[in-house]
Amino acid sequence: MANANVQTAANDQEVSSVQFLTVTAIFVALTYIFTAFINVRLPIAANGGLIHLGNVPLFIGAIIFGKKTGAIAGGVGMGLFDLLSGWTLWAPFTFVIVGLMGFTVGKLTENEKHQNFKWYVIAIAAACVIKVVGYYIAEVVIYGNPLAPVASIPGNLVQIGVAAVITLVVIAPLNVAAKRTGLKK
């Protein structure tokens, strides 16, 4: 009987690992796709600039599936975009900054008591701070000028603001659906 319990536990662990890898891979792909194909280049930013919807699947994945999925989806999904879209210099910064954003959103909302609108807003606000500060530092490192990155802050705020509105509108029904289908406990 003990052998059957060990086998059942091993099978459950295997299913859980496969589910995690599958869900995370889907959110990496969605983050990349929403970044690469649903975007607007900003003509006013001195250093270029891009407003995209890649943060929407990143936030949804982090809220529903947690900090690991959020970190991997953000860092890998958007880092991959940078590597494949001519923003290669930004890829290491993006991997760290956006990975940290996803981890933070997932960490702040993983507690069952924090699965509500207030905590979603707090988590996304924390991600916004990470993005603004992280990319400010990245631009100072890349351009060697502490004033030039200030021009990117409005675009970063708009990008997170739009993603926040979309995420906050769709997250409650998606969370219910994930629980109903057994994807989320």
Instruction: Give residue-wise pLDDT tens across range 56-84.
Output: 999 999 999 999 999 999 999 999 999 99
Residue 159 sits in a domain of what CATH number?
Answer: 1.10.1760.20
Domain that holds residue 169: 19-180
Report how many domains make up the chain. Answer: 1
Q: What is the pLDDT of residues 99-153, one digit of tens each?
A: 999 999 999 999 999 999 999 999 999 999 999 999 999 999 999 999 989 988 9
Q: How far apart are CA 73 and CA 58, in angstroms?
A: 6
Burial class (CB in 10 A: 0-12, 13-18, 19+), 35: buried
Structure tokens at 119: 């905590």
pLDDT digits (tens, 9 = 90+) for 26-58: 999 999 999 999 988 776 655 556 789 999 999
- Residue 12 is predicted with a pLDDT of 63
The percent of residues above 90 in pLDDT, for the chain, comes to 77
Instruction: Tell me if 1 is assigned to some domain.
Output: no
Positive or negative, the CA dihedral 113, 133, 83, 151 is: positive
Residue 5 counted as domain residue: no
> What is the 8-class DSSP label of residue 53?
S
**What pLDDT shows up at residue 50?**
76
Domain assignment present for 14 = no
Residue 2 lies in a domain: no
Is residue 85 domain-resident?
A: yes
| 165 is a domain residue | yes
Q: Is the pLDDT of residue 3 over 90?
A: no
Per the CB < 8 A criterion, the answer to whether 44 and 158 are in contact is no
Q: Is residue 58 part of a domain?
A: yes
CA distances from 159 to 18, 68, 165 (A): 32, 23, 10
pLDDT 10s digits, 149-183: 998 899 899 999 999 999 999 999 999 999 999 88
The Cα-based distances of 103 to 33, 69, 117, 134 in angstroms read: 20, 8, 18, 14
Q: Is residue 62 part of a domain?
A: yes
